[in-house]
Structure 1
Amino acid sequence: MARILIVDDARFMRITLTNILRKADHEIVGEAENGLEAIQLFRELNPDLVTMDITMPEMNGLDAVKEIRREFNDAKIIMCSAMGQQKMVVDAIEAGAKDFIVKPFDESQVIDSVSRVLR
């Protein structure tokens, strides 16, 4: 069981991920709506894993990944992106994300990605 922080500006997406991850026996320790909140919550909660949306207000996921990885070199972050954002996915991996999952979420893909990153 991992302690997971979910970051997405869409409440519906956070709920969807929460349901998928809880079914797989993971604990959701926090939720953030943008990159700034994500960084703050990461510092407070020190989760085992973060799911990070790319496109968000105030601070996007790429900048948040860079900032979190600067402070916490071993942070495990999975980017979440809509289809057609391959360039952003590449940028995310270069920024330090460990994997990415595509929206709309496929339950088995989410679980596989989380298991792979936590290994």
Structure 2
Amino acid sequence: MFDTGYSAYKNTAVEGRAAGADVHQLVLMLFDGFLEELERAIGHINGRRFDRKAHSVEKMLRILGGLEASLDLDKGGELANNMARLYDHCGQMVLQASLRNQVEPLDNVRQVMTNLQQGWKGIGSQG
């Protein structure tokens, strides 16, 4: 019961933040959500809660899809294409970790996504 209420509260809070956010803030929210879910997935793998792991993996892949959809490949040129390749790489590593029930592939994903998140934060502080 508490979990359902908390989830509803959390979804409402996220929706409220997203409603007033600009594109830059939305991308940062996606990075935050991805990294939070990655930590949950690691916990689920370590705890052998594979049904919950599957939900976390699905959520991470949806977030990666949202990040990739936010790219403007026409105007973004090489940078946008490189970002798309990084998102694809992370998606492949997430799937590999899920199929093998191993957390090691997620270490690389965490590093890549944290670096990208920090870069986006740096862009925001310049503007």
Length-normalised TM-score, structure 1: 0.31
Q: Which has the higher strand share?
A: 1
User: Which entry has the higher C-alpha Rg, 1 or 2?
Assistant: 2
Q: Which has the higher helix share?
A: 2
